[in-house]
Amino acid sequence: MRRFLIITIILLGISSFSAFAEGEREIQPVVTETGITVMDSYDRSVTIGKAATRVVSLAPSITETIFALGMGDILKGRTDYCDYPAEVQRIPSIGNLTEPDIEAIAELNPDIVIASTHFTKESLDKLTALSIPVVVLAEEDSFKGVYRTIEDIGRFTGAQDAGASLINSMKDTVNSVKEAVIGKEKPSVYYVIGFGEYGEFTAGGDTFINQIIEMAGGNNIASGIKGWSFSLEQIIDSDPDILVCSKFRNAKNLLIETNGYKDLKAVQTGNLFEIDNNMLDRQGPRLAEGLKALAEILHPDAF
């Protein structure tokens, strides 16, 4: 059987696995003469004296947001998984998402460390013990949550206007997609996260990716399950109209050759499509772009 693919998406890229972001933060960042304050996802009041000029990011979505705000120069550290945009390669890595190198972070002398999903309480305690300001921005899975995080980061970095502009642009894209697919017949869709000897993984009905599939004008064949684990038998029984997989790791070519998948209607009719899954899995500034890319796959005649 084919080796399991793209499992890191489940563990590292999809924010609904957050251990602490279960609700909305009610208190938004406040900018006053004494500094910038936010109530973060751990219900902690975090204050810095002025807009940060040295930032360490502990999540790909945070890193992408900082660059999207035009503030890449202030990013002094990032994780191994922060790979977009290409410019991040020049920034030192402080390790992985769940166990960052605390000493390496301290040596970078950040004004603030910005974390998100998968950041652990243990790492938080270690950083705060060193008097390093840490804010955890792990919102609920929604466009609203992404907008709020962009707004927060914009205020912490002095890029409020850029944040507002980015949010408005994303909202325009989301609205245009919704309008484009209104009244369209919805194809059945299977979103491939992982497959092979370790099991089949997709986005269940309780995930944000399921919501995005619906917003893009599709019917997710896995909407009846919770979580991410599916079965090949369920895929074969549903025989979806369209399969969507990551454009990375040769996933499409492997699926075409994999037993169970290669005989599906979608594969036989050329309706197996690739997408940059990071645009959907990461709750960041490319999410609206990812929604549009998916909608263009499901309804090419609408765009």
Q: Is the distance from CB of 145 to CB of 16 less than 8 angstroms?
A: no
Residue given tokens 């992408």 in the structure block? 64
Whole-angstrom distance, CA of residue 138 vs CA of residue 141: 9
Residue given tokens 């037993």 in the structure block? 259
3-class DSSP state for residue 194?
Answer: strand
CA distances from 228 to 35, 119, 191, 200 (A): 42, 21, 11, 8
Q: Which pLDDT score, from 0 to 100, does residue 26 have? A: 45
Q: Which pLDDT score, from 0 to 100, does residue 225 have? A: 95
Q: Is the distance from CB of 138 to CB of 23 less than 8 angstroms?
A: no
Class of domain 7-13+180-302: alpha beta
Q: Which pLDDT score, from 0 to 100, does residue 30 have? A: 52
CA distances from 56 to 71, 76, 116, 148 (A): 12, 6, 12, 19
Instruction: Give the CA dihedral 163, 165, 166, 169, nearest 10 degrees.
Output: 160
Q: Which pLDDT score, from 0 to 100, does residue 27 have? A: 41
Q: CATH 3.40.50.1980 region(s) of the chain?
A: 7-13+180-302, 16-173
CATH superfamily assigned to domain 16-173 = Nitrogenase molybdenum iron protein domain (3.40.50.1980)
Strand 75-77, strand 112-115: pairing: unpaired
Q: What are 15-34's pLDDT values in tens digits?
A: 443 334 444 444 454 554 55
Q: Cα-flanking dihedrals φ and ψ of residue 280, to 5°? A: -100, -35
Rounded to the nearest integer, the mean pLDDT of the chain is 89
Give the CA angle between residues 57, 151, 203 to the nearest 5°. 70
Q: What are 100-120's pLDDT values in tens digits?
A: 999 999 999 999 999 998 899
Mean pLDDT by 10 residues, the chain (303 residues): 43 44 45 71 88 96 98 97 96 94 98 92 94 88 91 94 98 98 97 92 95 97 96 97 95 95 96 96 94 98 94
Whole-angstrom distance, CA of residue 154 vs CA of residue 163: 5
Q: Is the distance from CB of 229 to CB of 200 less than 8 angstroms?
A: yes
Tokens of residue 267, six digits:
């594969």
Task: Report pTM.
Answer: 0.88
Q: Which pLDDT score, from 0 to 100, does residue 265 have? A: 97
Q: Which pLDDT score, from 0 to 100, does residue 43 have? A: 85
Peptide bond into 85 cis (omega under 30): yes
Whole-angstrom distance, CA of residue 24 vs CA of residue 41: 8
Whole-angstrom distance, CA of residue 218 vs CA of residue 211: 10
